[in-house]
Structure 1
Amino acid sequence: MAKTYSNKINKIRSFALALIFIGFVIMYGGIFFRESPVIMLIFIALGMIALLFSMVVYFWIGMLSTKAVVVNCPNCEKPTKILGRVDMCMHCREPLTLDPDLEGEEFNEDYNKKKKISAVKSD
């Protein structure tokens, strides 16, 4: 099965959202240890750490999103943000690039890695 790609900003936002749910699940796991306040406190503290880490990730991607290049997708004509050399449209998943050397090439996320550029282009 082919690998499905999505926009980098949406991937990171989804990761931060998953951290929120994981934090809540960890905190609710502490309910099973009501008789032992120390273990319950540990579960609540671990859940809060996950929630705080998600807040840091949301802040980081927000700052990164302000620096992203906004382009209009040629397929759906909606504005989308691009991080790196290649990215997907947030709306229609059209492969997008700002590098003229990569136009017409098959989409590959490895083009964003500096060390693997020459190896990927030679394939």
Structure 2
Amino acid sequence: MAKKYSNKINKIRTFALSLIFIGFFVMYGGLFFRTSPLIMTLFMIFGLLFIIASTVVYFWIGLLSTRTVQVTCPTCNKQTKVLGRVDMCMYCNEPLTLDRELEGKEFDESYNRKMAKNKADS
């Protein structure tokens, strides 16, 4: 069975969006404890912490996006960002690399890790 890969930036943005929804659900969960102000307040604070964590993740991915290389995807001809040695097109999930040593090799996200880099060099 083939692995499902997606663009790293989109994965992180999806994670940040899920933190917002988790925060809202936790806050709504606090409404079930209206009779106990302490428990309700704890739920509201935990929900707020999830939303603050989401803001931090969005800020971090914004900073990370400034270090990416913009390339034109050879398949869909749209501008996309490449983060690391290998990445996927944001639009059509075409495997992309800027490393000449990896051209023609099967796509694997582990090429972005330092240990895999040493293996690819061997």
Same fold (TM > 0.5): yes
Matches within 5 A, 1:40-79: 40-79=40-79
- Residue identity over aligned pairs, in percent, reads 64
Structure 1 segments unaligned to the other structure (5+ residues): none
Q: How many residues align?
A: 122
Paired residues of 1:30 and 1:44 also in contact (CA < 8 A): yes
Normalising by structure 2, we get a TM-score of 0.96
Q: CA deviation at 1:4?
A: 0.3
Q: CA deviation at 1:74?
A: 0.6
Q: In structure 1, the residue corresponding to 2:70 is in which secondary structure? A: strand
State whether structure 2 residue 116 is matched by structure 1 residue 106: no
Q: CA deviation at 1:29?
A: 0.3
Matches within 5 A, 1:79-98: 79-98=79-98
Normalising by structure 1, we get a TM-score of 0.95
Moved over 2 A (4+): 116-122
Structure 1 120/100 Cα, relative in aligned 2: closer, same or farther at 3 Å? closer
Paired residues of 1:110 and 1:120 also in contact (CA < 8 A): no
Matches within 5 A, 1:25-40: 25-40=25-40
Q: Distance in 2 between matches of 1:70 and 1:109?
A: 19
Q: Distance in 1 between matches of 2:105 and 2:13?
A: 28
Q: CA deviation at 1:120?
A: 5.8
State the Cα RMSD in Å. Answer: 1.2
